[in-house]
Homo-oligomer: A and B are copies of this chain.
């Protein structure tokens, strides 16, 4: 009676283990900090071996940063789907907002994860690494929208960089305010500041 008998059976078991691992990791890392908890402990708490942990996550950081997976692709798609007639500031604001909204959706857990990331150097580094990737991807889309050569033109990378600076700043403020401040308001605030630069130039 399963609507999807094939392929879901094994995959749901897999998802189950992954969830268990994530749950255990987040619980342990929340108290004690990132360095104080070993992978062995996380695996033991989830009832699997260390080896199995690494079959699910590429690194210890990945357990925490995993929820960012696909965010880059989502942003790129969102930006690509915005009408080309839209000014860059509007298109990018929607792009960033999509990510913020996806992050800040289930407020409680996500907030603590974000605080953990921003407060742990090793995690922050991974996070920043991802952002750097996203910047390249977004820059490519921006360049395409405007018909610019991303290799020679400065604008695409700068625009993508500014948008991600806004993204990061919103997350910071949100995290530091313990979820008090409204992400939507923060996002709009950021984009009113950077919009003049985003919309001023266009071509050359």
Contact = CB atoms under 8 A, between A and B. Distances in A.
Of listed A124, A169, A173, A198, residue having the most chain B CB within 10 A = A169
Contact of A128 (B125, B157, B165, B195): B125
Nearest to A173: B154
A192 B168 CA distance: 23
A77 interface: no
A178 to B, nearest CB: 12
A30 B132 CA distance: 23
A158 B154 contact: no
A168 B129 CA distance: 13
Nearest to A172: B157
Interface string A132-164: 100000000000000000010011011001100
Contact of A168 (B161, B186, B195, B200): B161
Given A165-B165, A176-B151, A158 B193 contact: yes
A121 interface: yes
Contact of A195 (B124, B162, B193, B197): B197
A165 B158 contact: yes
Contacts of A161: 162, 165-166, 168-169
Interface in A176-204: 176, 186, 189-190, 192-198, 200-201
Contacts of A186: 154
A124 B136 CA distance: 14
Given A151-B176, A169-B154, A173-B154, A197 B162 contact: yes
6 contacts: A125-B125, A125-B126, A155-B193, A158-B165, A158-B190, A192-B201
